[in-house]
Amino acid sequence: MNCRSIGTGCVSNGPKLWSAAWNVSEGTRFADRVLRFARALIVGSAATLVDFSLFSACIRLIGMTPTAARLPALCAGASVQFFGNRTFTFRAQAGSLSRQARFFVAAELFTLLSNFGIFSWLEPRVRGIAPEIVSFVGTFLVFVTFAYPMRRLVIFKLPSREVGKRRPVPRASGGG
């Protein structure tokens, strides 16, 4: 029975094509997606705190130049980002650590270039706003449009649960 006409009163046992409460591709509720995004913001905040803290400590306590201090700070922040997203945001510990790490590094390199490019484009065009704020705005734009979707849909995506539920294909009997 074809139940595509609105208001026909038709009931179909077929798959639900659209619903405001469910993400068809993932089968997750909207509330679950909001909570996952909130967890990503928490992890990102923690990574930023580690990055800024180590950056400041390297400059103020150890006496490193800002350029030299940037590398260990970025690496520490990225480590918090990777392991926080893997365990807390996406709960993807069942996935391959080496695969996730390779994809994460590649995506972070692109993210870094995107952040730099957007900042370089915005900074001369936005007058009267501190460069730190412009940097945060650019970083957030990259996070929302690239980094978070990449982490959710590629880096920390686990194989579908349906894969494990498939029945084995029966073999033809080898009687002779």
Q: Is the pTM of this model over 0.75?
A: no
In this predicted model, what pLDDT tens digit does every residue of 103-153 receive, in sequence order?
A: 999 999 999 899 889 888 988 898 888 887 888 888 899 999 999 999 999
**Residues contacting 1, CB < 8 A, separation 6+:** 10, 12
Domain chopping of the chain, boundaries: 24-91, 94-158
Q: How far apart are CA 50 and CA 173, in angstroms?
A: 62
Amino acid 99 reads: R
Amino acid 2 reads: N
Q: How far apart are CA 59 and CA 43, in angstroms?
A: 24
Place of tokens 């940037």: 70
* b/e burial code for range 125-142 (CB count within 10 A of at least 16 → b): eeeeeeeeebbeebbeeb
In this predicted model, what pLDDT tens digit does every residue of 40-92 receive, in sequence order?
A: 999 999 999 998 899 889 989 999 888 888 889 889 999 999 999 999 999 99
**Best-predicted range by mean pLDDT among 9-13, 93-97, 165-169?**
93-97
Termini Cα distance of the chain: 45
* Res 163 pLDDT > 80: no
If we measure between CA atoms, which residue out of 43, 47, 105, 112 comes closest to residue 76? 47
pLDDT at 173: 55
